[in-house]
Amino acid sequence: MNTTFSLHAGITTWIFVFLVIATAIVMWYYYRYTIPSSSRLQKNILRTLRFLAVIFAILLATEPIISITRKSILQPLHYVFIDNSFSMSNESQGYKKKSLVNDFIKLIRETVPGGTLRVYSFGSNLKMISEDSVQFLQYKESATNFSEIPAELLKSESPVSSITLISDGIQNEGEDPTGKLERIHIPVFSVACGDTTAKKDIVIAEILANNPIYAGVVTPLRVNLLCNKLGGKAATIHLYEETNQISQKTITLSEGINQITTDYTPKTAGEKKITATLDLVNGESNRDNNSKTIFITVKESKQKILLVAGTPSADLTFIKNALQADTNLIIKTIVEIGQNKTLEPYNSRVLDSASAYFFINFPLDGSSPQLVQQLLTHIKTNHKPFFIIPPEQNATTKLELLSDQMPVRIKPGPAGSLPGQVVISGDNLRHPILLASGMADAAIWNDLPPVLRLNYDAVAKPESDVLLLFKSGTNILKQPILAARSIGNQRSITLLVKDIWRWQLSLKGHQEFFGGFILACNKWLTAGSDHERLVVHTSRKVYTLGERIDFAAELYDESFNPLSDEKITLELIGKNFKNTVQFNPINNGIYESSIEVPATGDYTYIARYEGTPHLTKTGRITIGGQDLELQNSTTDKAFLTNLSRNTGGEVYFSTIPPKYLEILKKLSTQNQSEKVSISEIPLWNNMWTLVVVILLFSFEWLMRKRSGML
């Protein structure tokens, strides 16, 4: 390492030299004669002390800085990543992967300069290991994930000369790293370990289904099979909900992808375990990939939306039709037609079961006090979200009851409705309501036909988002027309115009605009109802025996602010098994915990927060499902070849040729780089610099005092 020092000050070198010379001359003249007379040695000491004190004082005034420059040569590093997954331990046809990996590392270590080799093992996670510990790898990781490799390379301060990947290329977790490794511009040399011969096999690749689904509603389940070298044979597939068989189908296989579809009607709500199994086909080489399990959430019923209107209107009809276009919604209506009269009778269950309310021209001053109070109770107590187009004619008596939950504060405005158009407020173009329906385009809103602004003066609350304003002629009013509010677990939307049904009829080329707008409002409103104060999740639902199960939890208060350092327990229950552990707080309301389970089977976990109020979250996992590492035993030659060629490297099969070792030697000498680090020490604000100046003046003063000088 080469280190140099330099001094920088607020004056030029020539001025500083002039001041030094001038100070030396003045000090020599100042002590030429003293009273009383003193020796030459004493005069020279006094001159030196005064000279140094003045020079230091001048330096302090010019804000001097000492710069320290350190230069070092960085040796290029060679990274080796070893696949530590279970598939690497699969010995076939006398092929010994473990011993081969040990020989590879030995050759590489003998080729590259000392201290430049970095060795990692990877499976589900990436881990740095020593060169000597390679021989102790167990090759028992339950999954293979290449996606963490690019990020690890970017952490290196030294240049990276080469990347060597020792693997069978069978990837079953994470994303493909090829694109990111291409952008790093470092050659990847792949050493393919394993048998590249395609075997006769049938794999249950995936089960496709909507999630969530609804009890009593028919839902298709699709099972994808991958067939290799067994085309033309018959295969029987079974589908189960828990242990109850849903269907059994026999098909004639074709090479490649085969899809089987079955209708599934869940009878009850809850989390359902769906398993697909395949009967062994004659000639199949691997039966460990003949099953697949997923979990599907079944909800009690479709989402219910309640429309409440003060009078029948075209807006009510068009909004209802827009919501009914979503087959996952059940729409109920309460339409008032007079004092305490509704178009159809209703009961309190309609109010209780609704996920959101839409108020159109409601509440009027003549609306049923009982109905208004019931709705208000659900909004305040049960945090029901709502969308409201208030009534006109300054009907504010009952409307004021909702004012605390609305996004705006309103008061009676000028009489009569004002015609005009709505325009987007530029402050909230990224709001979910606009993004969800593709409406963050000012041109679309400018093409809408005019509507009537309700006669209210409105002011948005600080926590609200203003999405639309109103334009009358060429004037844009600075009052909100569409505003959304989300605070805690309460959401609401206010729209202060009427006759919006015209948007559906007159918008050429955007016929789905109106329906998309209404459904986007409903989606945003009901998204808040899914929020939970205690959230618990795992990385997946199906694990293999011996695999550690990691849990993560999130905890929030009533306003959905994160709660940290609280006590959350986790209980895992299975057949003849029960274990309770505590979550460890990480930060910002996030907690982690893990459990190892000794037996296969289905397990239920229960997370409990013992605070106020008491919170509980339950879920299910399965141990002993299809092992990802046994799903495919054939080396993925295509993946490794593509990865190496796209990054400028090469792929080798079952061996490391001398050519590869020569490339490593060459890269070790070509990619050296110089690291320069500069640190600065400001002297002008350093306490010790001031101490030196004071001490120099003090020593001079003491010597003069002892000599009796004036």
Question: Is the pLDDT assigned to residue 235 strictly greater than 50?
Answer: yes
Task: State yes or no: pLDDT of 653 exceeds 70.
Answer: yes
Strand, coil or helix: 181: helix
With residues binned 3-state (H G I as helix, E B as strand, rest as coil), the percentages for the chain, rounded to 5, are 30, 35, 35
- Give the list of residues 6+ apart from residue 20 with CB closer than 8 angstroms, or none: 55
pLDDT-wise least confident of 61-65, 107-111, 651-655, 693-697: 61-65
Q: What is the dihedral of CA 607, 610, 615, 621, to 10 degrees?
A: 0
pLDDT at 155 over 50: yes
Mean pLDDT estimate for the chain: 85
Contact 478, 457 (CB under 8 A): no
List, for residues 535-578, the tens digit of each pLDDT value. Answer: 998 878 888 877 788 899 999 876 667 888 999 999 999 988 99
More confident residue, 528 or 194: 194
Among residues 495, 501, 451, the alpha carbon closest in space to that of 315 is found at: 501
Per-residue pLDDT tens over the stretch 430-476? 777 877 655 656 677 777 888 999 988 899 999 899 999 998 887 88
Distance, CA of 208 to CA of 221 (rounded, Å): 6
pLDDT value of residue 289? 84
- DSSP letters along 654-678, please? SS--HHHHHHHHHHHHH--EEEEEE
Mean pLDDT of 156-179: 87
- Please write down the HEC assignment for all residues of 106-122: HHHHHHCCCCCEEEEEE
Q: Are 146 and 173 in contact (CB under 8 A)?
A: no
The CA radius of gyration of the chain, in Å to the nearest whole number, is 38
Distance CA(98)–CA(463), nearest Å, equals: 61
Decide if pLDDT at 94 tops 50.
no
What pLDDT, on a 0 to 100 scale, did the predictor assign at position 619? Answer: 92
| Highest mean pLDDT (candidates 88-97, 195-204, 257-266, 701-710) | 257-266
Indicate the pairing of strand 475-487 with strand 464-472.
antiparallel
Amino acid at 438: G
Helix (H, G, I), strand (E, B) or coil at 282: coil
> How would DSSP label each residue in 218-261?
-EEEEEEEEEES-TT-EEEEEEEETTEEEEEEEEE--SEEEEEE
DSSP letter assigned to residue 62: T
Torsion angle of alpha carbons 150, 151, 152, 155, nearest 10°?
120
**Mean pLDDT, range 625-642, rounded to an integer:** 75
DSSP 709: -
- In 287-390, at which residue ranges do the beta strands (DSSP E only) sit? 291-299, 303-309, 329-338, 341-342, 356-360, 386-389
| C-alpha atoms less than 13 angstroms from C-alpha of 18 in its C-beta half-sphere | 5
- Chain centroid to Cα 503, Å, comes to 37
Q: What are 309-362's pLDDT values in tens digits?
A: 999 999 999 999 999 998 888 999 999 988 888 988 888 889 998 999 999 999
- Position 1 scores a pLDDT of 59
Using an 8 Å Cβ cutoff, are 31 and 46 in contact? yes
Residue 418 CA, chain-centre distance (Å), reads 45
Q: Work out the burial of residue 147: count CB atoms within 10 Å of its CB; fewer than 13 is exposed, 13-18 middle, 19 or more buried.
A: middle
Q: CA–CA separation, 562 vs 285, rounded Å?
A: 51
Model pTM score: 0.59
- Determine which of 170-174, 256-260, 520-524 has the lowest per-residue pLDDT on average: 170-174
To the nearest 10 degrees (0 to 180), the angle between helices 513-527 and 314-324 is 70
What token pair was written down for 44?
Answer: 């020279």
> Cα 394–398–404 angle (5° rounding)?
100
Question: Is 497 a residue whose pLDDT tops 90?
Answer: yes
Across 697-706, average pLDDT: 83
- Burial (CB < 10 A; 0-12, 13-18, 19+), residue 388, is buried
The per-type count for the chain, helices as H runs and strands as E runs, is 15, 39
Question: In this model, does residue 188 exceed pLDDT 90?
Answer: yes
State the pLDDT at residue 629.
62
SS3 call for 448:
coil
Question: Across the strands, what pairs with 405?
Answer: none
Q: Which residues pair with 493 in a beta bridge?
A: 387, 484
The answer to whether the beta carbons of residues 271 and 517 sit under 8 Å apart is no
CA 116-119-122 angle, 5° bins: 155
Average pLDDT on 637-644 reads 90
Q: What is the pLDDT of residue 4?
A: 79
In this predicted model, what pLDDT tens digit does every residue of 42-57 receive, in sequence order?
Answer: 888 888 888 888 887 8
506 — pLDDT class (breaks 50, 70, 90): low
Distance from C-alpha of 28 to C-alpha of 710, rounded to nearest angstrom? 17
- The position carrying tokens 């009961």 is 347
pLDDT attached to residue 93: 43
Give every CB contact of residue 264 below 8 A, 6+ residues apart in sequence. Answer: 209, 218, 219, 220, 221, 239, 241, 246, 274
- Please return the burial class of 433, using the count of CB atoms within 10 Å of its CB with bins 0-12, 13-18 and 19+: buried
Per-residue pLDDT band at 628 (split at 50, 70, 90): low
**Do the Cβ atoms of 705 and 36 come closer than 8 Å?**
no
Cα separation of 384 and 525, whole Å?
9
Residues 556-565 as b or e (16 or more Cβ within 10 Å = b): beeebeebee
Structure tokens at 369: 């006090």
Q: Tens digit of pLDDT for each residue in 396-434?
A: 678 888 999 999 998 887 767 788 888 888 766 677 787
Q: What is the pLDDT of residue 47?
A: 85
Q: How many angstroms separate the CA atoms of 441 and 464, rounded?
A: 21
User: At 227, which amino acid appears?
Assistant: C
Report the C-alpha gap between 204 and 258 in whole angstroms.
Answer: 10
- For strands 464-472 and 542-543, give the pairing: unpaired
Does residue 363 have a cis bond before it (omega within 30 degrees)?
yes
- Structural tokens at position 23: 């100070």
